[in-house]
Amino acid sequence: MGVSSLEDNLLKIFKDIYNFNTESYTIPTANCASSLQIKLGTWSQHWARPDVLRIYVYSGHAGPASTTDNRWYIAGRAGPNGIVGPRIYWQGIRDGIENCAGDVCYILDCCSAGSAATYDGPEILAAVGWEQIASSSLAFSFTQTLIDKLRDLNGQPATLANLYSMILRDCVRSQIGAYPVHIPKKGRSSIVLSRVPGPRSSDPQAAASMQNLLRRYGRSEHRVLLSVQFQHDIQRPDVRWMAWLANNLPPGLLSVDIQIEAYFQGSNLLLVTVPVEVWTMLPADNSAFNFVGHVSSNNILPQMMNNISSSLPVRKYTK
| Gap between the Cα atoms of 159 and 207, Å rounded | 16
3-state helix, strand, coil in the chain (%, to 5): 35, 20, 45
Least confident of 245-259, 265-279, 289-303: 245-259
| Gap between the Cα atoms of 126 and 134, Å rounded | 10
The residues that bridge with 64 in the sheet, in sequence order, are 72
Element containing residue 271 per DSSP (H, E): strand 269-275
Q: Which residues contact 45 (CB under 8 A, 6 or more apart)?
A: 100
For a pLDDT cut of 90, what percent of the chain falls above it?
A: 33
| Gap between the Cα atoms of 98 and 24, Å rounded | 19
| Gap between the Cα atoms of 58 and 143, Å rounded | 10
pLDDT of 42 reads 95
pLDDT of 201 reads 44
Quick one: average pLDDT of 2-19? 91
Quick one: average pLDDT of 162-177? 81
- Residue 63: pLDDT band with limits 50, 70, 90: confident
Quick one: average pLDDT of 284-300? 82
Please give the C-alpha separations between residue 45 and each of 54, 88, 239, 250, in angstroms, as whole numbers.
Answer: 11, 21, 48, 29
Amino acid at residue number 6: L
Cβ atoms 122, 58 nearer than 8 A? no
Helix residue ranges, H only, 154-265: 160-174, 204-218, 240-248
| Gap between the Cα atoms of 223 and 40, Å rounded | 38
Cβ atoms 238, 231 nearer than 8 A? no
- Residue 1: pLDDT band with limits 50, 70, 90: low
Quick one: average pLDDT of 7-28? 95
Least confident of 51-60, 250-259, 274-283: 250-259
pLDDT tens digits, residue range 114-162? Answer: 888 877 889 999 999 887 888 877 788 899 999 999 999 999 999 999 8
Residues forming CATH 3.40.50 domain(s) in the chain: 3-196+203-218
Quick one: average pLDDT of 28-38? 93
Give the CATH class of 3-196+203-218. Answer: alpha beta
